[in-house]
Amino acid sequence: MARIECKCGQIIWNGETPNDIEFWAYSDRTMDSILMSDSVSSLDFSVNADYNVWLCPLCRRLYIFNGKDSVPLYVYTPEEN
């Protein structure tokens, strides 16, 4: 459970379960490895994700974490239409 302040000023918090803030991203290789196990648990998915992605519900920025560090690797802002 953590919280960050988005660059737009919105406080983003993943403390509710389930939530619409936090997403898990897997490469095809990682997903294949997880699914090759004889039994797959929800813990397998959360600890083996390649990236943890947080979505700001206000400005739609994406914060990409590697799952180990509290500082994001990348921050993406949606393009203007």
Dist. CA 66–CA 9, nearest whole Å: 23
Instruction: Give the count of residues interacting with Zn ion (CB under 5 A).
Output: 7
Q: In this complex, which beta carbon is closest to Zn ion, that of residue 41 or of residue 77?
A: 77
Dist. CA 71–CA 67, nearest whole Å: 10
Sign of CA dihedral 27, 39, 68, 20: positive
x-or-dash string of contact with Zn ion, 17-56, rule CB under 5 A? ---------------------------------------x
Residue 11 makes contact with Zn ion by CB under 5 A = no
Q: In this complex, which beta carbon is closest to Zn ion, that of residue 10 or of residue 30?
A: 10
